[in-house]
Amino acid sequence: MTSESSPDPIHPLANSTSGPEGASGWPQILMPAVVLVAGLLLWEWVIRVNQIQPYVLPAPSAVLQTLLTDWPVLWPSLVTTLLTTLEGFIAAAFGGIGLALLFHQSRWVEYSLFPYAVVLQVTPVIAIAPLLLIYLPQETAVIVCAWIVGFFPVLSNTTLGLNSVDRNLGGLFRLYGASRLQTLRYLELPAALPFILGGLRIAGGLSLIGAVVAEIAAGTAGAGSGLAYRIAESGYRLNIPRMFAALLLLSAAGIVIHAVLALASHLMLRRWHESALARED
């Protein structure tokens, strides 16, 4: 006689079937799409019934039309913002992981430098950006702002991961005479990898936020302007449809960044880590 597993009362979705024969992914995609379409239709209906002017609140159709019409202006700005975000994210990733490894090798270095990393984290970037713009070139200052907000999550998560290694496994490595480099390569880094990837996912979105804040503080014009400047410019000119279109592009960019990093994390962890393994019935 076979025993049947009882459903999880806390996480009902954990008991849904996964794989090609299951349909657990469809509700997660279909339901948000239904809510989105319903919200857009309601928005459009309210605008048309109340005859609200576009400079007060544009309808979704007006935003879409503006997005298509102003695409030659918005596209270069989107590229500028994405490049700034990417450069800040790469700097945050290498800097955070590298400094965390240094902290792990020397407690004295951690005790000396970690408080200053906390200071960078708790100081609002909107307050730092004008100061950086005084002493650094504009493009460099914007990248530094993107780096500042993305740096601490990578540093903190990597440090936590390196310090969370199973002590019994560490003792086993020492028993077999493994060097510090071998222990780091074959035990500590693999054990910390989920933490590192979690920090990178957070840093991706924060780097975009830092780039946007710095672009607003910098204020610029011309072909090198980012989407944040286009939003501010549209607000000054009461071109509200373009403001919404630029904001839509920023939101889409953030979603893509998060999706790419989440996919990379899943691909790196799917064969061995519990967080990425497929759930069984």
Locate the domains of the chain by residue range. 64-269
- The percentage of the chain sitting over the pLDDT mark of 70, rounded to a whole number, equals 85
CB-based contact 170:198 (threshold 8 Å): no
Residue 23 has pLDDT above 80, yes or no: no
Q: Give the separation between CA 271 and CA 251, rounded to whole angstroms.
A: 31
Q: Give the separation between CA 143 and CA 150, rounded to whole angstroms.
A: 11
Model confidence at 158, pLDDT cuts 50, 70, 90, reads very high
Model confidence at 181, pLDDT cuts 50, 70, 90, reads confident
- At 56, is the secondary structure helix, strand, or coil? coil
Model confidence at 278, pLDDT cuts 50, 70, 90, reads low
Model confidence at 195, pLDDT cuts 50, 70, 90, reads very high
More confident residue, 174 or 82: 82
Give the pLDDT mean for 215-227.
70
| Long-range contacts of residues 254-257, Cβ cutoff 8 Å, at least 24 apart | 254/205, 254/208, 257/85, 257/204, 257/205, 257/208
More confident residue, 106 or 94: 94
User: What's the pLDDT at 26?
Assistant: 80
Model confidence at 90, pLDDT cuts 50, 70, 90, reads very high
More confident residue, 211 or 10: 211
Residue 115 has pLDDT above 60, yes or no: yes
Model confidence at 27, pLDDT cuts 50, 70, 90, reads confident
DSSP letter at 276? Answer: T
Which CATH superfamily, name and number, covers 64-269? MetI-like (1.10.3720.10)
Model confidence at 281, pLDDT cuts 50, 70, 90, reads very low
Residue 22 has pLDDT above 50, yes or no: no
Residue 244 has pLDDT above 50, yes or no: yes
CB-based contact 150:191 (threshold 8 Å): no
Q: What is the mean pLDDT of the chain?
A: 83
